[in-house]
Amino acid sequence: MVGAVSDGVDFKWNVSLCKHLSSAGCSSTHSSRSFQLITAAESEATYFFLFVFCDSGQLRKSRLKHSSMRLAAIVAGVKMFAAQQLNRATQLILICSLLWIEAPGLSMSSLVSSQTEDFIDWWQHAVFYQIYPRSFKDSNGDGIGDLQGIISKLPYLAETGITATWLSPIFQSPMVDFGYDISDYRAIQPEYGSMADFDQLVHKASSLGIKIILDFVPNHSSDQHEWFKKSVARDPVYENFYVWADGKKNEQGILQPPNNWLSVFYGSAWEWNEQRQQYYLHQFTKEQPDLNYRNPAVVQAMDEVLLFWLNKGVAGFRIDAVNHLYEREDLADEPLSGKTADPLSYEYTKHVHTKDLPEVLAMVQHWRQLLDDYSAKHPDGVTRIMMTEAYADLHVLMDYYETADGVRGSQMPFNFHFITDVDCDSDARDFVYNVEKWLIYMPRGHAANWVMGNHDNPRVASRFGSASVDAMNMLLLTLPGIAVTYNGEELGMEDYREISWEDTVDPPARNAGKKDYKKVSRDPERTPFQWSNASNAGFSTAAKTWLPVNPNYLGLNLAAQQEAARSHYKVYKALIELRKLPTLRRGRFSIEPLSRAVFALRRTLKDYETIVTIINVSAKEQLINLTDFINGPHKLIVEVAGVESTYNPGQALSSSALTLAPHEGLICKLIEA
């Protein structure tokens, strides 16, 4: 049963049995909650009631103080059971209800109401660690990361406290877009290894308590895929597997694309195929033709791909570019945006016919049903999950969770607001606003997620500044719900912006040309992982790596941070350990700007210590008074402090006069003054 919402976080209040409510000081009505008392069907109905706690759905309502009522109900029922005042049928009802009290269920921000038990599903409070395989670890000296390299570093992930990792594409590919152009959805890219290597990876990860999530790329395949080759040849089975259209002639009689649709990677989204004598759609590179999901055979083929990898033991999928799956059937031109005069720029038009069509939600819901059905048929206790990538309007993203009519889709529609909506110039109010708007719009019964970085955007240290790395990780890992970390962010790795044109391989950067490639290149955030100060940062023994290693690896590397008294890595590891606290797993949540420079968030759980995170996002020292925010004078005991902090774990601080250095973050527990 879904119940009270407080401070922007949803709780699930469990069903309880109650006897003699009046003697426990409980009433059958409540001024601020819609409570229902449902009598049992037995003759003892006068003694027992089931509470069904419901909520108005509005945030920031007064808290429901229900624990004494629940305790009274349980005690009364047990006493009657012991006195044998109940018949067998009602005894059974009581036993089942007591078991039901702690039954697991979904709840927003991955929090449950139980004060003593924790029934969060495995993914609802997990830290998902994104591995970019090509840059993680090279095991055979060819300069390219691979599966055996990942296997060799799984103990590192386990030691850090990671319990789930998702791999950027490892499928067979010509590597035009480095794995996002797939030529065989059921084969491993040879330079990454073999299917035997993958099986070993899943087995090793499982033995270490780590679940594997695969990057699934359904919008398009490679033009080297057999499906596309057969579609070009008009094979009856595959003729309509892709989006094909006739061209149109201009006033000069020159054949033109069917409409003005544009590629995300610059230029027309249409490419002429001489053999078939038609244009095909590609919303990304021309080597990535869009699949036609209006063809049921395509849907079936992709379902079979998902089932293939589920049977291999993966725990779910990250769905790439999901909001591009469908396009308007009549191929109408898209309206101009007015943002640029360049007719080949993706920003030239409003993408109302090629993104976020209603059919996308139906497909996401279809895949959710497939995953749920698979989980139900394989009762190993593991929920198979879906993470969806869509840079879209907030209202659209919320429908990915669940539509207005209650149909569920993605467990994790990625929340990119820390990437797209805040940066080094944002103040405390911007951070608070971007946290609260997600929680406010998120449907009840779902888990929030927070993505601080990925392979498509500049790293945290480069977006916010290296001095902010610890503070941003503190924010990420003390918010309610799911955290997503891109490999290397735990070290504070930085973008390598000085990659030469000759070494640049990213398709959008190559399309932009030598003059402008640095403005759009994603290569700087994809450089090899910096394991040590050995050659190539310990990533590879090759003479040349697929991308240059950032020269700062000599000082910024994992080995050095593991040995240092204080380091970004040690802060990150301490944060993951802290997340195991019941307060951070299922505690209530509130967040406020204390000034334009400082904001604080609070996690509270009855009978457990309150945890407070305070972050200074400014470049100046700040003196703050937390008394109002924490509801009275308390002492602060430092739990986690940053690399450059003057504070130490265990140190007692005053809540009324706390000094924070520029860009400092601090996590404390509260002690009564």
Specify the residue for token string 């003699």.
Answer: 20
Specify the residue for token string 């969060």.
Answer: 120
State yes or no: pLDDT of 576 exceeds 90: yes
Between 33-47, 128-142, 364-378, 610-624, the lowest mean confidence (pLDDT) is in: 33-47
Between 82-96, 402-416, 482-496, 505-519, the lowest mean confidence (pLDDT) is in: 82-96
In the structure, what pLDDT confidence band is assigned to residue 620 with cuts at 50, 70 and 90? very high
Between β-strands 248-249 and 255-256, what pairing exists: parallel, antiparallel or unpaired? antiparallel
Name the strands in the sheet holding 270-273, side by side, starting at the edge strand that comes first in the sequence.
244-245, 278-281, 270-273
Q: Which of 513, 491, 617 has the alpha carbon at shortest distance from 558?
A: 491
Mean confidence (pLDDT) of the chain? 86
Between 26-40, 576-590, 595-609, the lowest mean confidence (pLDDT) is in: 26-40
CB 281 within 8 A of CB 316: no
Q: What percent of the chain has pLDDT over 70?
A: 82
Between 22-36, 73-87, 328-342, the lowest mean confidence (pLDDT) is in: 22-36
Q: Which amino acid type is present at position 33?
A: R
Write down the pLDDT at residue 136. Answer: 98
Between 27-36, 478-487, 633-642, the lowest mean confidence (pLDDT) is in: 27-36
Between β-strands 622-624 and 658-660, what pairing exists: parallel, antiparallel or unpaired? antiparallel
Write down the pLDDT at residue 69. Answer: 38
Catalytic residue among 320, 399, 490, 494: 320
**Alpha helical stretches, state H, 378-465:** 394-401, 417-420, 428-441, 460-463
Fold of domain 586-671: Immunoglobulin-like (2.60.40)
Write down the pLDDT at residue 354. Answer: 98
CA distance 465 to 662: 11
- Greater confidence, 70 or 518? 518
In the structure, what pLDDT confidence band is assigned to residue 379 with cuts at 50, 70 and 90? confident
- Greater confidence, 538 or 108? 538
CB 136 within 8 A of CB 150: yes
Write down the pLDDT at residue 78. Answer: 47
Is domain 219-290+330-352 in CATH 3.90.400.10, yes or no? yes
pLDDT per position as a tens digit, 313-347: 999 999 999 999 999 999 999 999 999 999 999 99
pLDDT per position as a tens digit, 432-458: 999 999 999 999 999 999 999 999 999
Provide Rg for the chain, Cα atoms: 27
- To the query of whether residue 320 is one of the catalytic residues in this protein, the response is yes
CA distance 208 to 1: 34
Write down the pLDDT at residue 448. Answer: 98
State pTM to two decimals.
0.83
In the structure, what pLDDT confidence band is assigned to residue 151 with cuts at 50, 70 and 90? very high
pLDDT per position as a tens digit, 102-149: 333 333 333 333 333 455 899 999 999 999 999 999 999 999 999 999
CA distance 585 to 123: 12
- Greater confidence, 425 or 88? 425
State yes or no: pLDDT of 19 exceeds 90: no
Backbone angles phi, psi at 624, to 5 degrees: -130, 155
The alpha carbon of 513 is separated from its chain's Cα centroid by a whole number of angstroms, namely: 33
Between 84-88, 193-197, 483-487, 589-593, the lowest mean confidence (pLDDT) is in: 84-88
Helix, strand, coil fractions of the chain, as percent rounded to 5: 30, 20, 50
Write down the pLDDT at residue 119. Answer: 58
* CA pseudo-torsion sign 397, 401, 403, 408: positive
State yes or no: pLDDT of 465 exceeds 90: yes
Angle (nearest 5°) at CA 200 between 196 and 203: 140
Q: Which of 374, 384, 468 has the alpha carbon at shortest distance from 428?
A: 468
CA distance 84 to 668: 50
Q: Which amino acid type is present at position 664?
A: E
State yes or no: pLDDT of 93 exceeds 90: no
Catalytic residue among 44, 191, 389, 436: 389
Q: DSSP readout, 532-564? A: -SSGGGGS--SSS-SSPPPGGGGTS-HHHHHHS
Q: Which amino acid type is present at position 107?
A: S
pLDDT, mean of residues 211-228: 98
State yes or no: pLDDT of 2 exceeds 80: no
State yes or no: pLDDT of 540 exceeds 90: yes
In the structure, what pLDDT confidence band is assigned to residue 632 with cuts at 50, 70 and 90? confident
Write down the pLDDT at residue 82. Answer: 47
State yes or no: pLDDT of 48 exceeds 50: no
Structural domain spans, the chain: 219-290+330-352, 586-671
State yes or no: pLDDT of 13 exceeds 60: no
In the structure, what pLDDT confidence band is assigned to residue 26 with cuts at 50, 70 and 90? very low
pLDDT, mean of residues 31-35: 30
- CA-CA distances (angstroms) from residue 598 to 55, 137, 492, 594? 32, 38, 22, 5
CA distance 491 to 459: 11
CA distance 321 to 324: 6
Specify the residue for token string 């962010």.
Answer: 489
Write down the pLDDT at residue 87. Answer: 53
CA distance 345 to 366: 33
